[in-house]
Amino acid sequence: MTPARYLARHQAELVRFLQQLVRLRTVNPPGENYGDITRLLADSLSSIGMNVRRVPVSRALQKRLQPDQLDYPRYNVIGFWDAGAKKTLHFNAHFDVVPVSGQWRHGSPFSGTVDKGWIYGRGTSDMKGAIASIVFALKALRATGTKPNFNLEVSFTADEETDSTLGTGWVTEHGRLRADYAIVGEGGEGDAVCCGHNGVVWLNVRVHGRAAHGSTPEAGINALEKMSALVLALGEYKEILARRKFRTPDGQIRTPTLNLGGVFASGEGGKINTVPAAASFSIDRRVLPDETVAAAERDLRAFLKQAAAKIPHCRITVEKVSDNHSCYRDPATPFAEALRASVARVRRKPAKFCVSTGFNDMHFFANVRRIPTLGYGPGGENYHAVDERAKVKDLIEAATIYTDLLTTFRG
């Protein structure tokens, strides 16, 4: 029996496994049930003969980086299959999911309801579906006695939905990996293989005013008015960014983006008859694959400083919330062409290369480990939204594509 035929026959088993994953509420923040899901994942990899390490992140490190989440310990799972090959191919996927909001129409968010060929639930598309496809690709190889052309290494990691520092960041730095190539199970899906992604810089801008009684506003400095003026001034910065261009392999023209006010707030003590003494807003600056987060942050801070200086009595404090690096690798390589060929062969239609507008964990392998890295998985719909879902057919196809690559590409 071929791996492809095995996967077609074990579709229901894959769905049941994904339902198990979805029903474990691994919401981040704060990082719930990481212990339970990593035990399940470690057992799943062990059952197919992999050498598995379920590794806790040290409490001391978590205390330094996540002091408010010590009740939610971090774990990562690393598996290795020694196939006697010269090189090793690594699969990576994260098991944390974003919080839930809104009214779901297809079961509860953690039910794993199946309806008309789709499986619904938080994490089905981002990205427990990819975990299921990876596990079942390996099961198919083992069950059919098919020897892969590579040793296989797998990491299932925490915290991608925040900053990945104690997830894939930790694994690539401390996990003693042996990888020569890596596939992250997101970024590319369908007919698109991801060869890069945007980065991001997140800042919080706090505007300082002076409180006064609402009947004498001239005695104060209205932080909201100053913030509004600063936000309007950032319109000029958006125009500057719009002049920067990056062409993706599939011919799209990308520009950096600036999203303001995803989070905004007044200061303490706000009251309808008080001049606000403080106000704050967030900035989400997306970084092109040919930019660096350091340069993007430096440039943005300089503009904010200059803009505030032009507004009378506008004093600001800029705090960095987080960042994530961009990455890009020219897809004109044997590895990239091999994965594109596998996608085209299994899906029976031409495949292309893409660059993700979002960020994922590819950059840890591409930039830190400096190995050829691509993104591809089953994907889905309604990422981070109501009725998030993955198509069962795509879960099987992604697993089949992985097995095809592992038996046709020789490195």
| 236-245 confidence digits (pLDDT tens) | 999 999 999 9
Where does a domain end: 324, 339, 355? Answer: 324
The span from the CA of 38 to the CA of 51, in Å, is: 14
The span from the CA of 179 to the CA of 92, in Å, is: 11
The span from the CA of 222 to the CA of 239, in Å, is: 27
Residue 70 has pLDDT above 90, yes or no: yes
Is the same domain home to 90 and 40? yes
How far apart, in Å, are the Cα atoms of 300 and each of 127, 213, 242, 258, 304? 32, 34, 14, 10, 6
- For residue 160, which of 91, 98, 68, 118 has the smallest C-alpha distance? 98
Predicted confidence band of residue 40 (pLDDT cuts 50, 70, 90): very high
What is the pLDDT averaged over residues 201-230?
Answer: 98
Is the same domain home to 245 and 362? no
Which range is least confidently modeled, 2-16, 200-214, 266-280? 266-280
Is the same domain home to 59 and 27? yes
Is the same domain home to 59 and 160? yes
Q: Say what the pLDDT of residue 269 is.
A: 81
Give me the chain's average pLDDT, please: 98
Question: What pTM was computed for the model?
Answer: 0.94
> Can you give the residue range of the structural domain that contains 70?
3-197+326-408
Predicted confidence band of residue 267 (pLDDT cuts 50, 70, 90): confident
Task: Give SS3 for 373.
Answer: strand
Percentage of the chain modeled with pLDDT above 90: 98
Is the same domain home to 192 and 80? yes
Q: Write the pLDDT tens digit of every residue in 399-409.
A: 999 999 999 99
Is the same domain home to 350 and 386? yes
∠ CA 407-408-411 to the nearest 5 degrees? 100
Q: Number of folded domains in the chain?
A: 2
- For residue 133, which of 300, 377, 307, 346 has the smallest C-alpha distance? 377
Q: Say what the pLDDT of residue 270 is.
A: 86
The span from the CA of 2 to the CA of 407, in Å, is: 11
Residue 129 has pLDDT above 90, yes or no: yes
Q: Say what the pLDDT of residue 268 is.
A: 85
Rounded to 5 degrees, φ, ψ at 71 are -75, -5
Percentage of the chain modeled with pLDDT above 70: 100
Q: How many CB atoms lie within 10 A of CB 260?
A: 17
Is the same domain home to 10 and 118? yes
Per DSSP, what are the bridge partners of residue 181?
89
Helices (H) and strands (E) in the chain, counts: 11, 18
The residues, ordered by sequence, that sit 6+ positions from 356 with a Cβ below 8 Å of its Cβ are 187, 188, 194, 196, 197, 198, 375
Phi-psi region of 112 (alpha: psi -120 to 50; beta: other; left: phi over 0): left
Where does a domain end: 301, 324, 347? Answer: 324
Tell me the two tokens of residue 188: 């590319």
* β-bridge pairing 181-184 and 373-375: parallel
What is the pLDDT averaged over residues 323-346?
Answer: 98
Residue 335 has pLDDT above 90, yes or no: yes
Is the same domain home to 293 and 395? no
Whether residue 283 contacts residue 259, with contact meaning beta carbons closer than 8 Å, is answered with yes
Torsion of CA 389, 394, 399, 402, to 10 degrees: -120
Q: Say what the pLDDT of residue 275 is.
A: 97
Where does a domain end: 269, 298, 324? Answer: 324
Is the same domain home to 80 and 100? yes
Look up the CATH number of the domain holding residue 303: 3.30.70.360
Is the same domain home to 259 and 362? no
Is the peptide bond prior to 148 cis by the omega test (within 30 degrees of 0)?
A: no
Looking up tokens 């942050």 gives 297
Is the same domain home to 208 and 150? no
